[in-house]
Amino acid sequence: MVKQLKTIKTDFPILDQKVNDEQLVYLDNAATTQKPKAVVEALDHYYYHDNANVHRGVHTLAERATEQFENAREKTAAFINAPSKRNILFTRGTTQSLNWIAASYGEQNIKAGDEIVISYMEHHSNLVPWQQLALRKHATLKYIGMHDDGTLDMAQAKELITDKTKIVSIAHVSNVLGVVNPLKALAALAHEHGAIMVGDGAQSVPHMPVDVQDLDVDFYAFSGHKMLGPTGIGGLYGKEALLNAMPPIEFGGEMIDFVDLYESSWKELPWKFEAGTPDISGAIGMGAAIDYLEAIGLDQVQKHEQAIVDYVLPKLLAIDDLEVYGPQDPSKHTGVIAFNLKGLHPHDLATALDMEGVAVRAGHHCAQPLMKYLSVPATARASFYLYNDFNDADRLVDAIKAAKEFFKNGAI
């Protein structure tokens, strides 16, 4: 992987530019990733040669578009080791996927007095749908806490997940703390009590091999744009028996089998959930992104990112007045690193880094309960991906040191 880095960077033309007269270092990958030429070319090819609506036409363009669209579903199923393409629903992304579970499975199965268990580190997309479901159904929402290093408190999880628990929904990887949560152990615990396990894979699917059958999760949500694909496309994995039992929540064309004046019936999986014209180009683009990632190997992507974390985290921890959140041990930390510089608002820090050409994110990262838990209003966040290298890590460290010196001298 390391030997291929120079070649990989050339696959991403956007990285070859200057920002504020400095060479761009893009470290906002947890928010969205850049797109390789192969993905953009796949989109171009579809629109220039095959653009047509899927499933409905018998003409050549419609057949080619349908074949590419469904091939992308097959690729997505194989990518996370789903048993079949019937397990894969195309959605707008992780947010819509989690909302679908809450609005369909949750609405059908949660009643007053039931309990839903999540954690303090959840993204709003994996918090607000459950919060609102609990409010509608008069259920109880419970939160698993964390150890001082940001790892999930599994002893508390065992106390909170009981026979009253109906849904457990946890991020596979935190978008702030950079920890990998033990989803397989949580799934076993949930199933022991008759609950289902939902995994938020937004920050895991792009960065490490994921096997939904081995994890034994009941549902798993992820986004295309965080794994080199287009925005507006993502996936929801669900166990077939659960998906078959769930009612669709959107109705219209494409998802119907038969429509009469006063009743209708639905298509089989996975199409019964996909009302209207889908994001055809988005699915094809996500399929191209999967091809790109598989050509490299997710195990190699994970090793490369871990090498960067092993290199950069000790350098960040050595900066006086810089607080790094999450594990301080690089072996327990993914490429998502949140931090604050004492006396400086993270927005000011991010602006200062941008003046050095280093793009990071600043804010609450759609995790306001976690910010409250950490007793901070916001953090800065650098997030690495396969096209980043040790030089990018050094540029981040140098930019933070420069910002610290700049503000220390009162130059505002």
* Structure confidence by residue, pLDDT tens digits, 109-159: 999 999 999 999 999 999 999 999 999 999 999 999 999 999 999 999 999
Q: Are 242 and 83 in contact (CB under 8 A)?
A: no
- Dihedrals phi, psi of 121, to nearest 5 degrees: -95, 10
Q: Specify whether 77 is located in the same domain as 7.
A: no
Q: What is the pLDDT of residues 94-121, one digit of tens each?
A: 999 999 999 999 999 999 999 999 999 9
CA separation for the pair 405, 411 (Å, rounded): 9
Residues 52 and 24 in one domain: no
Domain boundary among 294, 316, 338: 294
> What's the pLDDT tens digit per position in 237-265?
999 999 999 999 999 988 999 999 999 99
pLDDT of residue 240: 98
Give the pLDDT of residue 407.
86
Domain limits for position 354: 2-31+297-408
Query: Rounded CA gap, 337 and 303, in Å?
Result: 17
Question: Dihedral (C-alpha) 301, 31, 28, 15: value to the nearest 10 degrees?
Answer: 70
CATH number at residue 49: 3.40.640.10
Q: Which of 261, 294, 327 finishes a domain?
A: 294
User: pTM above 0.85?
Assistant: yes
Total domains in the chain come to 2
> Over 50: is that where the pLDDT of 226 sits?
yes
Based on the fold, state whether residues 71 and 113 are members of the same structural domain.
yes
pLDDT surpassing 50 at residue 35? yes
Both 58 and 159 in one domain: the answer is: yes
Catalytic residues: 366
User: Same domain for 146 and 203?
Assistant: yes
Sign of CA dihedral 280, 286, 292, 294: negative
The percentage of residues in the chain with a pLDDT greater than 90, rounded to a whole number, is 95
Q: Are 350 and 360 in contact (CB under 8 A)?
A: yes
What's the whole-number average pLDDT of the chain?
96
Q: Are residues 188 and 322 in the same domain?
A: no
CATH number where 336 lies: 3.90.1150.10
Q: Both 234 and 147 in a single domain?
A: yes
Mean pLDDT of the 393-401 span: 98
Residue-wise pLDDT for 337-378, tens only, equals 999 999 999 999 999 999 999 999 999 999 999 999 999 999
225 in the same domain as 122? yes
* 218 and 345 fall within a common domain: no
pLDDT value at position 3? 41
Contact 313, 63 (CB under 8 A): no
Where does the pLDDT of residue 7 fall: very low under 50, low under 70, confident under 90, or very high at 90 and above?
A: confident
- Of the three residues 230, 263, 294, the one that is the final residue of a domain is 294
Would you say residue 412 has pLDDT above 50?
Answer: no
The answer to whether residues 169 and 80 belong to one domain is yes
Tokens of 1: 């992987």
- The closest of 113, 98, 114 to 169, measured between CA atoms, is 98
Q: 332 and 350: one domain?
A: yes
CB neighbour burial string for 128-156, b if at least 16 within 10 angstroms, e if fewer:
bbbeebbeebebebbbbebeeebbbeeeb
Please check whether residues 324 and 267 belong to one and the same domain. no
pLDDT given at position 408: 78
Report the pLDDT value the prediction gives residue 273, as an integer from 0 to 100.
95
Q: What angle do CA 151, 29, 38 make, to 5 degrees?
A: 135
